[in-house]
Amino acid sequence: MELREDQLERYSRQMFLPNIGGEGQKKILNAKVLIIGAGGLGSPCALYLASAGVGGIGLVDSDVVELSNLQRQIVHSTEAVGKSKVESAKKTINGINPDVEVVLYNFRVTSQNILNVIKNYDIVVDGSDNFPTKYLVNDACVLANKPLSHGGMSKFDGQLTTILPRQSACYRCFFPEPPPPGLVPDSQEAGILGAVAGVIGTLQANEVLKFILGVGNLLAGKLLVFNSLDANFRQVKVPKDPNCPLCGDNPSITELIDY
């Protein structure tokens, strides 16, 4: 594959980087990334991956754009209110970079369909908005041996980790079971600052690009916790748990669960 003239110009600022160059850019152009959730985390992540030239982006979301989404879901515009989120995101992505092949999955992932969706991709980004999906995505990625960037946020805080199945800790190594329903508030009670979603989703894009390029140190075995009020980041080490119900030595979870 030879880079076109316009591609050389479009990607020149990142191709100047010592670890990227023409070879790295080709890796990015050939990469396929699945983003689950075209919302607060998925928006900035999708925008930066598209800008960088990721060749294939899959988007999973069954919702339509609502006015109250726009405070943080920056891939959508006011005119998209009432339209499907995946269609809206595709329009924005291809507006920035028409080379990106965007594949739309206008449904919810379930234990029945998720393995079929993730199998076509090099890495998965979890930008979902609820714990049942977060556990389903983690379990599916570990069982299918698919790298995963996990992100979450609440109020003024956010966190992310990168999961290399069976090599580094999975989400269950840390949080073995979903929290009791109702105890961990969603934004109905908690709210969320849009810029926090931007920070975490952008860091997820950063992890994906490092993974594609094979450069730097991934957040594997580490949870990066961001607190926007103190403007501080902490890395919490997450060892792989030999007793993990999913990726441990004697796993009790061997098939997908819909919570």
Partner 1 sequence: MVNIYLNGKKKDIEEGMNISDLLFVNRIRPEVVVVEVNEKIIERNKYKDTILIADDKVEFVYYMGGGERELGLVKHVLEFIGNKYTFD
17 binds, among partner 1, Zn ion, none (CB under 5 to 8 A by kind): none
Footprint on this chain of partner 1 (rule: CB under 8 A): 37, 39-41, 66, 68-69, 127-131, 134, 152-155, 157-159, 174-175, 178-180, 183-184, 186-188, 190-192, 197, 223, 225, 232, 234, 236-239, 241
CB of 111 closer than 8 Å to CB of 100: no
Kindly state the smallest distance separating residue 197's Cβ from Zn ion, in Å: 26
DSSP string, 153-217: EEBTEEEEEEE-TTTS--HHHHS-SPPPTTTS--HHHH-B-HHHHHHHHHHHHHHHHHHHHT-S-
173 binds Zn ion (CB under 5 A): yes
Kindly state the smallest distance separating residue 191's Cβ from partner 1, in Å: 8
CA–CA distance, 194 with 70 (Å, rounded to integer) = 9
170 binds, among Zn ion, partner 1, none (CB under 5 to 8 A by kind): Zn ion
128 binds, among partner 1, Zn ion, none (CB under 5 to 8 A by kind): partner 1
Residues 6+ apart with CB under 8 A from 49: 33, 35, 57, 205, 208, 209
150 binds Zn ion (CB under 5 A): no
Q: Which is nearer to Zn ion, 74 or 124 (CB)?
A: 124
CB of 105 closer than 8 Å to CB of 117: yes
Angle between helices 42-52 and 194-213 (to 10 degrees): 40
191 binds, among partner 1, Zn ion, none (CB under 5 to 8 A by kind): partner 1
Kindly state the smallest distance separating residue 6's Cβ from partner 1, in Å: 36
CB of 61 closer than 8 Å to CB of 41: no
Nearest residue to 223 (alpha-carbon basis) of 184, 170, 146: 170
Can you tell me which of 74, 172, 193, 203 binds Zn ion, judged by CB under 5 A? 172
Q: Which residues bind Zn ion (CB under 5 A)?
A: 170, 172-173, 244, 246-247
